[in-house]
Amino acid sequence: MKKKFALLITLFLLSTSLFAQNTVTRSAITFKTKNLGIGVDGSISGLEATIHFNPNNLAAASFDASVDVKTITTDNSLRDDHLKSDEFFDVARYPAITIKSVAITHKSGNKYTGQFNLTIKNKTKTIEMPFTYTAKGDLGDFNGSFKINRLDYGVGDSSLTLSNEVTISIDAEIRD
């Protein structure tokens, strides 16, 4: 009986370390596009995430994250209000952007590629995001970026002045 109990405790401890949920301690989500040929930068905050990541067990890795679209900022309050309107992000109806992992593969060293389902305004598309993961004691840094076509998600209309391409960068630190 004691052996079975010890085995159960060992399996429990092993499974919690292999599938440990990490806590996000710092994050920065930024985006870049062009309007009238001029670069426009912005950020979105309010990241909430459940991350299970162990470089030695990528089959069990998962990312499930969301950001609060009401926090979008471009350092221009008129533009920010316009982006929050129903013409662009429609934050009253769609307050969050979500991203969920589909598969993670190791490339080399600290480089990985993830397939993710990105949902904006209730439209989901699979994107590929190369990222790096660097372990620092009980902390880990994730850095990655990807490009989307904003029209694929119904963000704004076709425009001669506003680029359809948006580059999104994610920098997050997690604690085991």
Summarised one tens digit per residue, pLDDT across range 79-118 is: 999 999 999 999 999 999 999 999 999 999 999 999 999 9
Note whether residue 8 is domain-resident.
Answer: no
Domain count, the chain: 1
Averaged confidence pLDDT in the chain: 89
Per the domain annotation, does 2 fall within a domain? no
| CATH number of the domain bearing residue 128 | 2.40.128.110
- State the Cα–Cα distance between residues 85 and 142, nearest whole angstrom: 31
**pLDDT for the residue numbered 21:** 55
pLDDT, averaged in runs of 10, over the chain (176 residues) = 42 40 86 95 94 93 96 96 97 98 97 98 98 93 97 96 97 90
Within a domain: residue 160?
Answer: yes
Could you tell me the residue range of the domain that residue 78 belongs to? 20-175
Question: Residue 95 domain-assigned?
Answer: yes
Q: Tell me if 114 sits within 8 A of 103, measured CB to CB.
A: yes
Question: Domain for residue 1, yes or no?
Answer: no
In a domain, 6, yes or no: no
End-to-end CA distance of the chain: give it in Å, rounded: 33
